[in-house]
Structure 1
C-alpha cells in the first residue's frame, strides 16, 4: 500500500487564474455580485481540495463541507474578461468547522476586487448532519494552518455590518484626525 504524503501548502493558497465571463456582466456594465461568490467558491474548492475535501472525498467517503456564514466586501469593480486569482487563508479550524479568508485579485494588476470571510461546517452526507472531520483531514488542516499562521491576520475579520450612529462616527473622525 502506498504511503500518503503530507500536502505542502503555500501561504496563502493562490487559485488558478479565472476570467470574468460575459454572462456574468449585469446592466451596470460590471460583474454582478453573485459571480464574486462563484469565484470565491471555486477557490475554496481548489484550496480545500488540497486537504482532501474535494469531489473524491464526497464520492469515496460521503463527506463534504457546507457554508454556514459568509461576509463579503466589494472593493472594486470587475469587468468582462478581467483575469482574476483568489487567495485563501485558513484562519482557524476545529473538529467540525473551518474559518477562512479570501481575496479576489486582478491577476495581472494585483488590486483587490473583493474580500470574503467564511465559516464552513463539515458534513456527513449520509445523514446530512454536522460531524467531526476524520483524523487525516484534521492533520492536513493543521499543516495548512501552520503554514498560514505566518500570515498577518486580515484586518477585516469579524467585521460587523451596520450604519454607525452619528456620535460613534464623529468620535471615529475626531480620533483619526478627519473632520467633516
Structure 2
C-alpha cells in the first residue's frame, strides 16, 4: 500500500507486520538477539504501519512531515535466536492531533509466543521547522479510522506497565 493510501480498518485484529528474520550480526555474546535490535524490528514494523496511515517516507518527501519517538518502554520476555522468524502486532491505542500511542508485540512467527513488547508515544513533526505540529486533516482521518477499528479490540497484556521494583508484602 502506498503512503497516501486509505487504510482498511482491521477490526479483526491489530496491524501485523511482514515476517522478519533475526540477522546474524544482531546476535550478542549471550547467543541471543541483542536488546538494541528488538528496537530495530519494532521500528521496522512501525514504518509499515505508518505507510498504511499515509505517513511513511513519501509523506516526509512530499509533505515534509514525519514522526519522532518521544517515549518508549520495552519489555524483554523470552529470548529470540538466530534464524527465528518474527512478526510484530501493533495496536493504535490512542491519538490526538499531534501524538500517537502504540503498543507492539514481537512474536515468534511460527510458534506464536511473545518475545517482547514495546509501548511508544510518537509525535508528529513539521520537518521544515523541526517542531511538533498537528497532523494534516486527511492524515487525522486516516488515523481516526484505524483508532476506531483498534478500539474494538481487547487491550494487549502489559499495556501501561511502569518500571519499578516489586513491593514487599508486609
Q: TM-score range by the shorter chain?
A: over 0.9
Q: Aligned residue pairs: how many? A: 165
Q: Secondary structure at the match of 2:79?
A: coil
What is the root-mean-square deviation of aligned Cα atoms in Å?
Answer: 1.3
Whether 2:158 is the aligned partner of 1:156: answer: yes
CA distance, structure 2, for counterparts of residue 61 and residue 93 of structure 1: 20
Whether 2:19 is the aligned partner of 1:9: answer: no
Preserved CA contact (<8 Å) 2:5 2:53: no
Preserved CA contact (<8 Å) 2:20 2:87: yes
Shift of 1:143: 0.5
Shift of 1:116: 0.7
Give 1:63-74 correspondences, 5 Å limit: 63-74=65-76
Q: Which has the larger radius of gyration?
A: 1
TM-score when scaled to structure 1? 0.88
Tell me, which stretches of 5 or more residues in structure 1 are unaligned?
Answer: 172-180
Q: Secondary structure at the match of 2:122?
A: strand
Q: Which consecutive segments of 4 or more residues in structure 1 shift more than 4 A? A: none
Which of 28, 45, 51 aligns to 1:26? It is: 28
Shift of 1:58: 0.3
Whether 2:96 is the aligned partner of 1:97: answer: no
Q: Secondary structure at the match of 1:50?
A: helix
Q: Secondary structure at the match of 1:113?
A: strand
Give 1:77-92 correspondences, 5 Å limit: 77-92=79-94
CA distance, structure 1, for counterparts of residue 51 and residue 78 of structure 2: 28
Larger RCO of the pair (alpha carbons < 8 Å, separation 6+): 2
Which of 112, 131, 134 aligns to 2:133? It is: 131
Which of 165, 168, 173 aligns to 2:167? It is: 165
Q: Secondary structure at the match of 2:160?
A: coil
Partner residue in 2 for 1:75: 77
CA distance, structure 2, for counterparts of residue 120 and residue 142 of structure 1: 15
CA distance, structure 1, for counterparts of residue 162 and residue 5 of structure 2: 40
Shift of 1:134: 0.2
